[in-house]
A = this chain, B = another copy of it.
Amino acid sequence: MPTEPSAAPARPRPGGRTARTRTRVLDAVLAELTEHGYDALTVDAVAARAGVHRATVYRRWRDVGGLLADLFAAAADLDWTPADTGSLRADLAALGREIQDSLTAEPSIAVALIALSFRSADAARALRQLWADRYRQCEVIVERAIARGDLRPDTDARALLIAATAPVYHECVLLRLPPDPALPERAAEAAACAAEAGVFAR
């Protein structure tokens, strides 16, 4: 998921003891945020929940700001790439489903980061960067469609990707509607249809 600050692909990969500690600590941050909210977030509560020595958490993350910054860093997941299905519609639909899944996960890292962005200017900046990176990672979907001759070469990739994904965010995050399983496909189809008609030409 592009625009997606979240979910499984965002978790630090299993590795040594340090990596496992990080996973446990960041899972604890997310659980605390989801259950008790930003106001109640403390290093001590995170350490207790993670079952990690307080001294370790203070040494490595220093404070709540350090924990949140690392939650965003873990979510950035620079290795993530969008699915390559061979068609624009199916690539966009797969992306939309991944976003919808990440927004409706319990707990959802994505929704926690969005909520945080309304509380803290640092979090808002980190989320803006994360989204810029994810949309950039997704531009390949449009480049492939252009290479196949399915779209005009001057198609604005970002505008097309936003059209295809915005309805999923809007319904899940702002309108808070129950997830509509047909939505990712419909939004993908609408955006692809408009792109083919040249609506996103620069």
Contact = CB atoms under 8 A, between A and B. Distances in A.
Contact of A194 (B3, B171, B176, B189): B189
Interface in A3-26: 3
A68 to B, nearest CB: 15
Q: Secondary structure of the A side of the interface?
A: helix
A175 interface: yes
A117, A169, A197, A199 pick with most chain B CB within 10 angstroms: A199
A115 B38 CA distance: 13
Interface of A: 3, 39, 114-115, 117-119, 124, 127-128, 131, 159, 162-163, 165-167, 169-171, 173-176, 186-187, 189-191, 193-194, 197, 199-200
Contacts of A170: 162, 165-166, 169-170
Contact of A197 (B118, B171, B193): B193
Given A128-B176, A165-B170, 19 more contacts: A117-B176, A118-B118, A127-B176, A128-B175, A131-B175, A159-B186, A162-B170, A162-B171, A163-B167, A163-B187, A166-B166, A166-B170, A169-B174, A173-B174, A186-B199, A186-B200, A189-B199, A190-B194, A194-B194
27 contacts: A3-B175, A39-B39, A114-B118, A118-B118, A118-B119, A124-B176, A128-B175, A162-B167, A162-B170, A162-B175, A163-B163, A163-B167, A163-B187, A163-B190, A165-B170, A166-B166, A166-B169, A166-B170, A170-B170, A186-B199, A186-B200, A190-B194, A190-B199, A191-B194, A193-B193, A193-B194, A193-B199
